[in-house]
Amino acid sequence: MAAYTDIDDPSAHFQVATYTGNGSHPRNLTNDGNSDLKPDFIWTKNRDDNSSNNVTANSTIGFNAPKGQGYAWEDGPFGGQLSTDATGAASTPAATYGYVSAALTDGFTVAAGGTNGDTCNKNAKDFVAFQWKAAGGTVANNTDGDLTTRIQVNSAAGFSLITYTAIDPIEPLDLGHGLGAVPEFWIIKSRTIGGKQWGVYHHKMHATPQNYYLTLHTTNAATSASTWWRNEAPTSTVIKTGEQDDVNRAAKDYICYAWTSKQGYSKFGNYIGNGNANGPFVYTGFKPAFVMIKPAGIGEHWVIHDGTRDPINPAYHYIFANEDEAEGHGGTHHIDILSNGFKIRTSNNNWNNTNAAGNIYVAFAEQPAVTSTGIPCTAR
């Protein structure tokens, strides 16, 4: 059998962890993948409680890096956390309800926060954490675009963590990303302005994706607008933004996470649903560790499954990236995670709509379908 991947062990670049909070003192959490992973981008979610945000933090800004007083309604800039289901500016960890305080050699630390541990460390509550490796916290300057971006790039895994300060006076921007390949998926969020949207580009959300945008914090369908990506496709060196102030406002700070697919490790694709419980099979070329699905042409959720919360099929636990709701489970809203992709096992519109625009997805691997030495992946 022919080799399919250059990444034999995806756990060196991405892992999913589950843990139970203690609500008080900091605790160290260790990953259980084949390789050690010191994460640079960490996304956590309380699985049990409603009114609990999806929380993101990264090593460029600093996991425990207070700036200012740390409240989202004050003027910035701030370090710390952003919530994918909210539009607030970044807030300093010490002023919030629990936070990721450090990355470890193989995992991370969660602490209690200024009031209690609700957000990332609530006592006796179950959490899930998605973790990506960039450059181990080593930030470089990139001058490929119209301004200097600060980037952490993991070229092997096709991931770039980018920060930038928009130009004053405002003008359309080319942002250097450092991937050395055309990015296929990115999300951008203002760090210093409250009430600004999470702008999303996915190369399969439309036949001309540069003319459209999605928003991670809403159920909105892909919407046509030249102000976001100015109707110009990204290149192997730059992401192109328009004058939409959600991604480009003079003298304001932004964060961007950008990916390009790597065979046997990540894929950013789409599929058309068939509307029944025996849904389509989606080939990725690997056994997924993480799958996020969003209908592109209709208003439905960003739904996330993973193989850690559900180590055997069906994978029926799910969270919404755009909601602060508790984890969903049971019923018929689930998928099967297979050795070379995933299969939809529900007729629900969020997973299996028949709209011509299809469902876009973001997937990262647990194992490649075939290693570089020709060893095939086993089924679950």
3-state helix/strand/coil string of 39-108? CCEEEEEECCCCCCCEEEEECCCCCCCCCCCCCCCCCCCCCCEEECCCCCCCECHHHCCCEEEEEECCEE
Residue 252: per-residue pLDDT: 92
Q: Confidence class of residue 92 from pLDDT cuts 50, 70 and 90?
A: low
pTM, rounded to two decimals: 0.94
What are the pLDDT digits (tens) for 175-187? 999 999 999 999 9
33: confidence class by pLDDT, cuts 50, 70, 90: very high
Asked which of 111, 132, 153 is the last residue of a domain, the reply is 132
Q: Which residues pair with 319 in a beta bridge?
A: 304
Residue 159 sits in the same domain as residue 250: yes
Distances (CA, A) of 220 to 164, 189, 216, 297, 346: 26, 17, 9, 9, 21
Copy the structure tokens of residue 34: 């084949």
CA 193 – CA 89 distance, rounded (Å): 5
Residue 376 lies in a domain: no
Measured CA to CA, the distance from residue 218 to residue 220 in angstroms comes to 5
Give the pLDDT score at 115. 53
> What whole-number distance in Å separates Cα of residue 176 and Cα of residue 278?
43
pLDDT of residue 67: 45
- The answer to whether position 197 is within a domain reads yes
Instruction: Note the pLDDT of residue 200.
Output: 98
**Model pLDDT, residue 379:** 77
Shared domain for 74 and 117, answered yes or no, is yes
pLDDT on residue 296: 96
Pairing of strands 149-154, 159-165: antiparallel
149 and 118, same structural domain?
A: no
In a domain, 154, yes or no: yes
Q: What is the pLDDT of residues 246-266, one digit of tens each?
A: 999 999 999 999 999 999 999
Range with the poorest average pLDDT among 57-66, 98-107, 341-350: 57-66
Confidence of residue 71 (pLDDT cuts 50, 70, 90): very low
Residue 38 burial by Cβ neighbours in a 10 Å radius (0-12, 13-18, 19+): middle
Q: Which of 259, 281, 307 is the last residue of a domain?
A: 259
Mean pLDDT calculated for residue range 65-74: 43
The Cα-based distances of 6 to 14, 92, 279, 369, 371 in angstroms read 15, 38, 31, 12, 8
pLDDT at 77 over 70: no
Same domain, 57 and 105: yes
Over range 202-221, report the average pLDDT: 98
pLDDT at 90: 80
At 331 the pLDDT is 80
Q: What is the pLDDT of residues 296-337, one digit of tens each?
A: 999 999 999 999 999 999 999 999 999 999 999 978 889 999
| pLDDT (0 to 100) of residue 116 | 46
Residue 161 vs residue 357, higher pLDDT: 161
pLDDT attached to residue 81: 85
Angle at 166 between CA 59 and CA 266, to 5 degrees: 45
pLDDT range class, residue 121, cuts 50, 70, 90: confident
Q: What does residue 199 show for φ and ψ, rounded to 5 degrees?
A: -85, 130
For 361-375, what is the mean pLDDT?
Answer: 93
Domain of 51, in residue numbers: 12-132
Residue 377 falls inside a structural domain: no
Question: Same domain for 88 and 184?
Answer: no
What's the pLDDT at 79?
53
Handedness of CA 92, 96, 101, 103 (dihedral sign): negative
Specify the range with the lowest mean pLDDT, choosing from 139-143, 165-169, 206-210: 165-169
98 and 17 within one domain: yes
- Cα distances from 374 to residues 1, 2, 44, 129, 370, in angstroms, run 6, 6, 35, 31, 6
DSSP 31: -
**In total, how many domains does the chain have?**
3
159 and 123 in a single domain? The answer is no
Residue 113's pLDDT is what?
A: 60
Residue 7 lies in a domain: no
Can you give the pLDDT at residue 65?
47
CA distances from 269 to 205, 278, 379 (A): 9, 20, 22
Q: Examine the domain organization and report whether 107 and 186 are in the same domain.
A: no
Whether 235 and 336 share a structural domain:
no
> Residue 96's pLDDT is what?
55
Contact 2, 374 (CB under 8 A): yes
Q: Quick one: 76 and 119 in the same domain?
A: yes
Asked, for residue 307, whether it belongs to a domain, the answer is yes
Reported confidence tier of residue 118, pLDDT bands at 50, 70, 90: low
In this predicted structure, the answer to whether residue 72 has a pLDDT above a threshold of 50 is no
* Cβ-based burial of 25 (10 A; exposed 0-12, middle 13-18, buried ≥19): exposed
Mean pLDDT for the stretch of residues 192-217: 96
Can you give the pLDDT at residue 112? 72
Residue 70, pLDDT score: 40
CB atoms within 10 A of CB 51: 9
N-term to C-term CA, the chain: 20
195 and 102 housed in the same domain: no
Decide which of 113, 132, 151 is a domain's last residue.
132
On whether residue 379 sits in a domain, the answer given is no
> What proportion of the chain, given as a percentage, has pLDDT over 90?
75
Joined tokens for residue 195: 């009430």
The pLDDT of residue 217 is 97
Residue 206, both tokens: 């439309």
pLDDT, averaged across the chain: 90
pLDDT at 88: 87
CA distances from 368 to 71, 131, 288, 338 (A): 43, 18, 9, 11
Q: What is the dihedral of CA 85, 90, 95, 97, to 10 degrees?
A: 20
239 in the same domain as 184: yes
Q: Is residue 5 part of a domain?
A: no
CB atoms within 10 A of CB 289: 23
Q: Please tell me the predicted confidence (pLDDT) of residue 64.
A: 65
Task: Give dist(CA 371, CA 55) in Å, integer.
Answer: 33
Residue with the two structure tokens 């289901």: 85
Predicted local confidence at residue 303, as pLDDT? 98
Residue with tokens 């260790």: 30
